[in-house]
Amino acid sequence: MFYPRYYYFDPTYLVLLPAIIISLVAQIKVSSSYSKYSKMRNSRGITGIEAARRILYANGLGDVQIQVISGNLSDHYDPTRRVLRLSGDVANSTSIASIAVAAHECGHAIQHATGYSPLKLRSAIVPVANIASSLSWVLLVMGIIFASDSLVTIGIVAFVGYVLFHVVTLPVEFNASSRALAQIEGLGLSTADEIHHEKKMLSACALTYISAAIMAVLQLLRLILIARSRDRD
């Protein structure tokens, strides 16, 4: 069917509404959880960087470098350089949130060391996803302007790579959190009550990846609707 544009309003944006709502909820949940658990000190008095070192050494990854970087929740593991980067707030804090975040990133380092397949796939998709996220829209617009079905189709296919990246990210992140909690418990870094809170913290963070995946899928659906609308105009 034809989708009329009233006052330049594109009704296909409504497709993204569920993802936008989930994304807002996820952001609020992560912010409130981190704010809450960053104020709760772990009973062991262990900082985030100390927890990371213990986990890495316990898994034979003592050669993985740990760097303290700026930014808020900018923590990540770089598999290409085998570097674990922790934000200052996480590295130097003894909070429950810091232990959870640091352990989660260590989970990625363990995944890398053990050849975890979804992580390898995600790493391989990264270059494609980066290009696809911007190029797909350019191709779609050009296809519409020049009435080229081929360009529209290529644009949609290119965006599939972006969607695939976010879908593959889900098992990678969930598995990293599972590994993190297992390491925290196995190494005695936190008490049972603290692990319960750390699990809540990581579950809140997982919502951001879920919302990103839903947004990517719905954006793909929107691209398809736009293409179909053009065909029927």
Which pTM was predicted?
Answer: 0.87
Domain ranges in the chain?
11-232
Question: pLDDT per residue over 128-179, tens digit each?
Answer: 888 877 788 788 778 777 777 788 888 888 899 899 999 999 999 999 999 9
Question: For position 53, what pLDDT does the model report?
Answer: 98
Question: For position 49, what pLDDT does the model report?
Answer: 98
Query: How big is the chain by its Cα radius of gyration, in Å?
Result: 21
Question: For position 4, what pLDDT does the model report?
Answer: 45
Name the band, by pLDDT with cuts 50, 70 and 90, for residue 9: low
Is residue 150 within 8 A of residue 142, CB to CB? The reply is: no
Question: For position 230, what pLDDT does the model report?
Answer: 61
Which of these is catalytic: 50, 105, 173, 194? 105
Question: pLDDT per residue over 78-94, tens digit each?
Answer: 999 999 999 999 999 99
Question: pLDDT per residue over 113-140, tens digit each?
Answer: 999 999 999 999 988 888 877 788 788 7
Examine the residue annotation and report whether 198 is marked as an active-site residue of this protein: no
